[in-house]
Amino acid sequence: MRNAYVLEFAEMNRSNISLVGGKAANLGELSRLEDTAVPSGFCIATSAYQEMLRRNPQIATQLEQDPFEPASIRAAIEGISFWPEFRSAVAARLARFSPDQAWAVRSSATAEDLPGASFAGQQDSYLNQCGQLAVLEHIRKCWASLFSDRAVAYRERQGFPHSRVQMAVLVQAMVFPQVSGILFSADPVSGHRQRVCLEAGWGLGEGLVSGRVAADRFTVREGKIESRRVVSKETAIVALEPGATQRIEVPESQRLSSCLTDEQVLQLAALGKELESHFGQPQDLEWSLVDGKIHVLQSRPMTALFPLPELNDQDFHIYVSVGHQQMMTEAIKPLGLSVWQATAARPMHSAGGRLFVDVAPDLASPAGRNVILNVLGKSDPLIKDAISTLLEREGLEADLPAQAGPPPNFEQMIDYDPGLVPELMESTRASLHHLARQLLVKSGLELLDFILQDLQELRGGVSGPRGFSVIVTATNAAYWLNENLENWLGEPNAAHALSLSLPNNVTSQMGLALLEVADSIRPFPKLVEYLQTTRDEDFLSQLPAFKGGEAARQAILTYLDRYGMRCTGEIDITRPRWSEQPLSLLPALLNHVRAFPSGEAQRRFLHGQQQAQQKEQELLQRLRQMPEGEQKAEQTRKMIELLRNYAGYREFPKYALISRYFLYKQALLREAEGLVQKEVLAAPDEIFFLTLQELRDLLVTGQLDRALIRQRLQAFQSYQKLTPPRVMTSHGETLNGSFQRDHLPAGALAGLTVSNGVVEGRARVVLTLAEAELEEGDILVTSCTDPSWTPLFVSIRGLVTEVGGLMTHGAVIAREYGLPAIVGVAGATRLIRDGQKVRLNASQGYVEVLPV
């Protein structure tokens, strides 16, 4: 009969993680695998930990206290007395072994070795313990280590409540190995799934895992040793008398000898791949070699690897991140993924809550390779560098698939037609009005089928081939101006100054329009005070109670009517829009109220126009003084005309697409409300964890798979903690590229110049719009900016982002506002601290922290 507190390894598997913790559950499965040696032992179940808390209510009370005091909780747990039934259960298990048997006592928390977080090394382990008293003492210590400073900090970063984590404890027979080590069944650095990485050192593995001793390193790929690095191993950790380990000097004759033979390296690599296959994902193993026999001490999932798209084929794929092009690298819920996939003109593959495009077929042909490297690469040089790194590898050509069809023509240019852009915009607005009317009269399956059909028709693009031609023409005009004016006049990035205050740019207009809303609020101190302190999402209904409040309310509503479909991460249809959460606009709006005088929007736009006109006249005058100057000046004038009249339109198709998404969302949520009333859904937002097709199926069956919703929610939460790569292969290798720069100042961070200028100011590191409290003159440092960040641009002096490219939204608006900006600065939000004084030299493509 199974004891309530103690379980044998044979009783444990992954189905009872809540009882024995992740580490013990995995060991239980390992112990039943043929040809896998696992040292004997047993597990103290979480029921014992729970009983300890029940018998010591003062500890349970401390877990709920604020402030949380880990040191006090540790001391209380280490001072508890064990109850008789528990002592007897442990004694009975120990009695099955020799009194001289030494034990390893290890933690196995219920938050360990989970799909989204490994919690590796966050709790304590104790080696070489002998006798009942020593084992019991160290069970207490393992329980207490659940509240070590590092374990508490890690759980808080991962979002695990302290009161919900339970602790099991492994009591496992010690082995005394000649060699110990760790093994990753996939490369933990690059993510390459075909490369096994292992480290080995003399003696116990404790020193290697903690980094206290040197280790030999090996990599194995497809059954062959790919690399080996044998180092001088001067010390090792060994067991002494019971309860103790010691660091000793390794004999001279062994220091430079490899710990493992080639045969043993390959045996370990094969074992790692077998366990990866068994558990269904790459594994992190700890192992020991005793008299030539491999013992597995633990196996946990490698949770930091970015997942791969599930294509279930053997072809080689090169995936490029869609999020890095759309300035949205955060995880997207399933409904958002499916809507974006249905809209895209080419197949997109989901992994880790993000979308990727397979460019391997494009790279197989010279024309396709030119498009990827010279069009996509111009937009984001880091993607170009990452792909170039792959293409330089010997043998890659053989891995690429058959050549794809002809790529789009990104070199086309059309003549200037003054009526074209207004016509395209008006046509799109009429289409949106028509869509809104149609969605209002549809419901049920008719609604879903209509949306699915409408999305299919969007695959060619919101603005169609004529709109595409306008955007390509403007982009090529900018490249032509930058290249030729630098060659002729030594004027770098000339298109930046020529792009100030472009007409028909809906995103820059959105930023200036919020300045006009601020003008309606600024004269009324009581109204300003209310908006500064309110946290009421329904604050608009309260505004008429204040002087000037009704006019302010109408100004905000008018703004939301035009731009309320936007929000941070707007390509995800499930994200709350400004119209749904208008409170999210207040930080930017109040910044404008505080920082600017009335009429600032008009002044800024006119000033930008004048600067662009003056720059054009200056450039044309200089060109006319050159040989063949009239011809060069006329060519340049035509390119400037195309740039200024067509470049602003680039932002409009995205605006139209997001407007369309919001109409879909409103219709789908109305349908979800009906499903809540029928008790099919618990809440309308449960549809966010279904794809469009699954939502259609739900309307047919009326049956919701609640386990699927829970699983999708947990997966989404784990995806939120991952950082997506710019480029990833189907082998799992991730590449993010780097800037090849010389002669940067010491400590400077390199990026891509997207808008010229040199400024100094206070760095404001802002990760979400809601926390943005900016003052005029600040330099905004953030991960990425989509159009929803535009209202902040009028308050700042410069922009630094970790993600972006030459033609991404933030870059376009920065140029139009005359804002010095660099993008693609790796680790900027981590390496620059909020409040530091920095110099942003966007003209040279770097930012540096200045001495105090």
Catalytic residue positions, numbered: 809
Identity of the amino acid at 749: L
Structure tokens at 547: 């002087």
CA distance 653 to 646: 13
Cβ count within 10 A of residue 533: 8
Kindly give, in sequence order, each residue whose CB lies less than 8 Å from that of residue 422, ignoring residues fewer than 6 positions away. Answer: 504
Rg (CA), the chain: 31
Assign 3-class secondary structure to 620-685.
Answer: HHHHHCCCCHHHHHHHHHHHHHHHHHHHHHHHHHHHHHHHHHHHHHHHHHHHHHHHHHCCCCCCHH
CA distance 601 to 509: 9
Judge whether 424 and 463 are in contact, CB under 8 Å. Answer: yes
CA distance 766 to 774: 9
Kindly give, in sequence order, each residue whose CB lies less than 8 Å from that of residue 180, ignoring residues fewer than 6 positions away. Answer: 200, 201, 203, 204, 205, 208, 286, 287, 288, 289
Q: Which stretches within 32-131 are classed as H helix?
A: 46-55, 57-63, 70-78, 84-94
Judge whether 484 and 636 are in contact, CB under 8 Å. Answer: yes
Give 313: exposed, middle or buried? Use CB within 10 Å, 0-12, 13-18, 19+.
exposed
Where is 153: in which H helix or E strand? helix 149-158
- Total residues belonging to the chain: 852
Phi, psi of 235 (to 5 degrees): -135, 160
First to last CA, the chain: 69
What does DSSP assign to residue 540? G
Phi, psi of 594 (to 5 degrees): -75, -35
Phi and psi based region of residue 791 (left: phi greater than 0; alpha: psi -120 to 50; beta: remaining): alpha
